[in-house]
C-alpha cells in the first residue's frame, strides 16, 4: 500500500482539514502524522484517529521583539534532523502539509530526501509557513482563487471539508437542552475558534438579556472561559468546547464567529448564514479580515469588525442577518462550492505517482 505522511499544526485550523483528507483516503493507503510534542494537533489526532504520531521540535515566530526568537534557527535545525529520521524510517510516497510552523521542518526534510510534498493554504493571504513551504513543495493547493500567486505549482482546489459536517443532527441538541431552550425562538451558535474569543464572549454577554428575548443562544466560550454569572440564564447554554460541532451547526439558524477559513467554508458547505467578527490586525497578519471581506462580497456572510463592536451595532447586525437569512442561504446554495477533498486527493495521488 501507498504511504502518506500528514503534517500541520499550531491551531485546530491546521489539523481539521488534514482529518478531512485522512478520513477519505485512509482505506486506500497507510497514513502517519508528524506534529509537535505539546501542540493541539497531537490531542486532536490521538483522539480522532488511530494514526501513528511522530513528534518533532518546532519553532514558532513570535510577532514581537523577544529573545525567544533567537532560538528559532536551532530548533528548526533540530526539527529538520528529526523529520529526516522519521521520513527515512517511514519511506512515504508523498507528504501532505496543512501549514503552520510545525510543517516547515518537515517540508525542508522532504526536499532534502526527494520526497514529493503537497501543501494547502486555507486563507486569502499566504501564511509565513506556506511562503517558505512554497519553495520546497511539488504542489500547493488553495481554498481561495484570489490567494493564488502566479506559479505553475499552485492549484485552486477549494477547502477540505469533513464529511461529518454534512451529517449533523440538530435533534440531538434540541433534545439535550430542551429544558433551557424555547422551540419557538430562532437559534444562534456563537464560537470563537479552538481557543475561544474573549472579545466575542464579552460582546455576547453584554447583550445577552436582549438577545435571549428573541433567540436561543448556544455559546462555545473556549477552555476555562465559562462565566458562572450566566449559568441559569433561560434560552442560553454556555460550553467550553464540543466534539460534535456538526450537530450544533445543523441546529443553528445563524452563527457568530471568527473568520478562520476552515470554519467558514464548513458553514458555507451547509448553507448557514454567518456574522463574521474577524481577528483584528493588531492580533494577526490580517488574513481573517480578507477572508471575511471575500465572503461578504459573495453574499455568504455579514461582517462586523471587532473595533466597531458596540451593543447597538452587534444587535443590529444579528437582527439584520436573521431577518435576511433566506437571501444568504440562497447565495450559499448557488455558490457551486468546489469539492476540495476530491481535487486535493487527485493532486496527492498524481505527485505520489499513484
Structure confidence at residue 284 (pLDDT)? 78
Cα–Cα distance for residue pair 232/229, rounded to 1 Å: 8
Are the C-beta atoms of 247 and 170 separated by less than 8 Å? yes
Q: What is the mean pLDDT of residues 104-122?
A: 97
Cα–chain center distance at 41 = 12
Nearest to 319 by CA among 288, 275, 286, 283: 275
Q: Indicate the average pLDDT of the chain.
A: 93
pLDDT in tens, 282-305: 877 889 999 999 999 999 999 999
Are the C-beta atoms of 120 and 98 separated by less than 8 Å? yes
Structure confidence at residue 194 (pLDDT)? 65
Q: Return the higher-pLDDT residue of 338 and 70.
A: 338
pLDDT in tens, 306-353: 999 999 999 999 999 999 999 999 999 998 888 999 999 999 999 999
Which set of grid coordinates corresponds to residue 46? 490521538
Structure confidence at residue 61 (pLDDT)? 63
* φ, ψ (nearest 5 deg) of residue 109: -65, -40
What Cα–Cα distance (Å) separates residue 97 from each residue in 100, 101, 125, 191, 237?
9, 11, 17, 26, 36
**pTM of the entire structure?**
0.90
Which set of grid coordinates corresponds to residue 252? 443553528
What Cα–Cα distance (Å) separates residue 217 from each residue in 244, 257, 302?
17, 13, 18
**Confidence tier at 71 by pLDDT (50, 70, 90):** confident
Radius of gyration of the chain (CA): 21
Structure confidence at residue 73 (pLDDT)? 81
Structure confidence at residue 72 (pLDDT)? 77
Structure confidence at residue 247 (pLDDT)? 98
Report the C-alpha dihedral over residues 131, 120, 276, 335, rounded to 10 degrees. 130
Structure confidence at residue 58 (pLDDT)? 84
Over 90: is that where the pLDDT of 87 sits? Answer: yes
Cα–chain center distance at 263 = 5
Are the C-beta atoms of 140 and 120 separated by less than 8 Å? yes
Are the C-beta atoms of 288 and 124 separated by less than 8 Å? no
Domains observed in the chain:
2-159+338-351 (3.40.50.2000), 164-333 (3.40.50.2000)
Structure confidence at residue 26 (pLDDT)? 94
Q: What is the mean pLDDT of residues 186-215?
A: 92
Structure confidence at residue 127 (pLDDT)? 87
Structure confidence at residue 285 (pLDDT)? 80
pLDDT in tens, 222-241: 988 999 999 999 999 999 98
**Confidence tier at 9 by pLDDT (50, 70, 90):** confident
Structure confidence at residue 337 (pLDDT)? 85
**Confidence tier at 62 by pLDDT (50, 70, 90):** low
8 CB burial (10 A radius; 0-12, 13-18, 19+) = buried
**Confidence tier at 195 by pLDDT (50, 70, 90):** low
Question: Where do runs of H (alpha helix) occur along the chain?
Answer: 16-25, 40-48, 72-90, 103-113, 128-133, 170-176, 198-206, 208-211, 245-251, 261-269, 287-297, 311-323, 325-333, 340-351
Cα–Cα distance for residue pair 168/160, rounded to 1 Å: 17
Structure confidence at residue 39 (pLDDT)? 84
Pairing of strands 139-142, 117-121: parallel
Cα–Cα distance for residue pair 197/70, rounded to 1 Å: 29
Over 70: is that where the pLDDT of 64 sits? Answer: no
Amino acid at each position: 500500500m501507498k504511504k502518506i505522511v500528514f503534517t500541520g499544526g499550531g491551531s485546530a485550523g491546521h489539523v481539521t482539514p488534514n482529518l478531512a483528507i485522512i478520513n477519505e483516503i485512509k482505506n486506500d493507503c497507510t497514513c502517519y502524522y508528524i506534529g509537535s510534542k505539546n501542540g493541539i494537533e497531537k490531542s486532536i489526532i490521538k483522539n480522532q484517529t488511530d494514526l501513528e504520531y511522530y513528534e518533532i521540535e518546532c519553532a514558532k515566530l513570535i510577532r514581537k521583539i523577544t529573545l525567544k526568537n533567537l532560538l528559532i534557527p536551532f530548533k528548526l535545525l533540530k526539527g529538520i534532523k528529526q523529520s529526516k529520521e522519521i521520513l527515512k524510517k517511514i519511506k512515504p510516497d508523498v507528504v501532505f502539509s496543512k501549514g503552520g510552523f510545525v510543517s516547515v521542518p518537515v517540508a525542508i526534510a522532504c526536499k532534502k530526501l526527494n520526497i514529493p510534498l503537497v501543501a494547502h493554504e486555507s486563507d486569502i493571504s499566504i501564511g509565513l509557513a506556506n511562503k517558505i513551504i512554497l519553495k520546497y513543495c511539488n504542489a500547493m493547493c488553495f481554498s481561495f482563487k484570489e490567494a493564488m500567486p502566479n506559479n505553475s505549482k499552485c492549484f485552486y482546489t477549494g477547502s477540505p471539508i469533513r464529511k461529518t459536517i454534512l451529517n449533523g443532527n440538530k435533534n440531538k441538541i434540541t433534545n439535550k437542552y430542551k429544558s433551557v431552550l424555547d422551540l419557538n425562538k430562532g437559534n444562534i451558535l456563537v464560537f470563537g475558534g479552538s481557543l475561544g474569543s474573549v472579545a466575542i464572549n464579552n460582546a455576547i454577554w453584554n447583550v445577552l438579556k436582549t438577545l435571549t428575548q428573541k433567540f436561543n443562544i448556544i455559546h462555545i466560550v473556549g477552555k476555562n472561559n465559562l462565566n458562572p454569572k450566566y449559568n441559569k440564564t433561560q434560552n442560553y447554554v454556555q460550553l467550553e468546547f464540543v466534539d460534535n460541532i456538526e450537530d450544533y451547526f445543523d441546529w443553528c439558524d445563524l452563527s457568530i464567529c471568527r473568520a478562520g477559513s476552515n470554519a467558514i467554508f464548513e458553514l458555507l458547505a451547509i448553507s448557514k448564514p454567518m456574522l463574521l467578527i474577524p481577528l483584528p490586525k493588531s492580533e494577526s497578519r490580517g488574513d481573517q479580515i480578507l477572508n471575511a471581506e471575500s465572503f461578504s462580497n459573495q453574499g455568504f456572510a455579514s461582517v462586523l469588525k471587532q473595533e466597531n463592536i458596540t451593543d447597538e451595532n452587534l444587535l443590529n447586525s444579528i437582527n439584520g442577518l436573521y431577518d435576511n437569512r433566506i437571501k444568504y442561504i440562497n447565495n450559499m446554495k448557488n455558490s457551486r462550492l468546489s469539492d476540495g477533498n476530491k481535487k486535493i486527493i487527485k493532486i496527492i495521488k498524481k505527485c505520489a505517482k499513484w
